[in-house]
Structure 1
Amino acid sequence: MAGSTTAERGERQQRSSGPPPLRRFTPPRLRMIIILALALVLLGAGTVWLLYGSQWLRAEEVSVSGTRVLTPAQVREAADVPVGEPLISVETDAIEARLRRKLPRIDAVEVVRSWPHEIQLNVTERTPVLLVQKGRNFVEVDEGGVRFATVPRAPKGVPVLELTLSRPGSRAASLRRFGEGRLVREAVRVAGALPDAVARDTRTVKVLSYDDISLDLGGGRTVAWGSGEQGSVKARTLTALMKATPGARHFDVSAPTAPASSGS
């Protein structure tokens, strides 16, 4: 009997190499898929209920850290945390905004969910570097020039700002050119650049004009600082000048390359 031709063999090979037959899920495999899908649905529903519906993850405590002048009670009251609500639904951004708005003394605040029941309020208060006298009270000014609180008594170790006259009309000219806010910021800039020992001993920062700022220290000593520019250079120069002439009462670092001291 004659063998198959080449064409016949090709046809048989093509039929044998065709697409594989479709597989059908067997009943046990189908049941396993259904069981897994139901388990995922139940797990998701259980998680949602646990976070929003159960009593286990509710905001029940509010802790406060970082206060110095403010009290924890003041911070809690201003924060107005919705105690009893699901912890997951507490709007931390809204709490931060309320604290900044109601308590300007707060410079930075972090609101943290601490599972399972606590909201933590971590605050950083502004530090006054200068005081502006207003009647019998004092307005505290921080290193950014922000006036954030009015207090009846001057905090210890914080100098008072004085806007005074150096020459007739000079203060008015500076006010017209720079504005009172700019002159206050220059005074703040000077106060922030002072060496620690000098800062602790500074009683008054006097602004006579933009480039004529001076300091009154304890013991009747004075420092002519000039403008707020080159603050770090002037601070180093003043420290060296005070060490070189410890008995002097008047120091001039307005031109830090040619400092001077006098008096005894």
Structure 2
Amino acid sequence: MRARTAFIGLLTAAVVGTAAWLVFYSPVLGVRNVEIVGNLTVSADRIRQQAAIAALHPMATVDLAAVEHRILGIRQLATAKASREWPATLKIAVSERAPVAVVPVDGGKAALVDKHGVVIEIRAVAPPSLPVLQLGRMNPSDPVMLAVLKVVSGLPESLAGKVKTVHAGSAEGISFGLNDGRTVVWGGSDRGEEKARVLVSLLSRKADVYDISSPDVVTLK
């Protein structure tokens, strides 16, 4: 009886040990496919390369947090989420940063920034669809730039395409230069949706300056 019990114990230990080896050390349940979803402009191959997951690395021991951290080294990506899809697929869902404005940099080049002021990429020529920020300081932590980015990123598409330049002496003193030469005095970053609606309705009226800093009392000059 004791021999039988000992045998069963050894057999159980062997089964558990084999299962643990298969899951944690063996390539049998290793990563055979890395699936990338959510990318639009960043290639899946580049994300896989940045993820740096060795082929057939045991699925169970992949450090998902470390994979996400490495992937976010790609500046064009805003988020990354890695997950296991057994038996052999590692899925990586990403979202990309969207450029909302252009910041002039040395050499006449243009830095594309997202709504947080993160530089996504630098181009030789600024895209005509994005407004150029003309501020005294180009620091993402500066209250003036934060206010400007909040305003610019909140503009409706129909209005955003008309803004050529953005000026601001303070967080409450934001103004736009439109593509047709007209000027918009926007004011602060408060009541953005309301200001946008008012401005869209006013642009059909001829004027050089549209002051909507207080959308309750607008001024045209």
2:199 matched to 1:228?
no
Identity %: 27
1:129 Cα offset (Å): 1.2
**Which amino acid in structure 1 is aligned with residue 200 of structure 2?**
T
Q: Give the C-alpha shift of residue 197 in structure 1.
A: 0.8
2:53 aligned partner: 81
Q: Distance in 1 between matches of 2:206 and 2:85?
A: 57
Question: How much has 1:97 moved relative to structure 2?
Answer: 1.0
1:107 aligns to 2:78 (yes or no): yes
| Residue 193 (1) aligns with residue 154 (2) | yes
Q: 1:58 aligns with which of 30, 33, 51?
A: 30
Name the counterpart of 1:145.
117
Which structure is higher in helix share?
1
Structure 1 residues 161-182: Cα deviation after superposition (integer angstroms, max 9, x where no partner): 012xxxxxxx6xxx6xx99822
Distance 1:156 1:113, change over 3 A: farther
2:44 is matched with which residue? Answer: 72
2:219 corresponds to 1:260: yes
* Structure whose CA Rg is larger: 1
TM-score under structure 1 normalisation? 0.71
Asked if 2 retains the 8 angstrom alpha-carbon contact of 1:162 and 1:205, the reply is yes
Query: Aligned equivalents of 1:180 and 1:49: distance in 2?
Result: 50
Q: Cα RMSD over matched residues?
A: 2.8
Question: Are 1:227 and 1:254, in contact at CA under 8 Å, matched by a contact in 2?
Answer: yes
Structure-2-length-normalised TM-score: 0.84
Q: Is the 8 A contact 2:30 2:57 kept in 1?
A: yes
- Alpha-carbon separation, structure 2, partners of 1:200 and 1:232: 16
**Could you tell me whether the CA contact under 8 Å between 1:138 and 1:152 is conserved in 2?**
yes
Query: 2-side partners of 1:40 and 1:155: how far apart?
Result: 66
3-state DSSP class of the match of 2:78? strand
Partner in structure 1 of residue 210 of structure 2: 251
In structure 1, give the amino acid aligned to 2:217.
Answer: A
CA contact (8 A) 2:32 2:56 kept: yes
Mapped to 2, the partners of 1:161 and 1:207 lie a distance apart of 9
Instruction: Indicate the larger mover: 186-195 or 52-61.
Output: 52-61
Change (3 A) 1:128 1:31: same
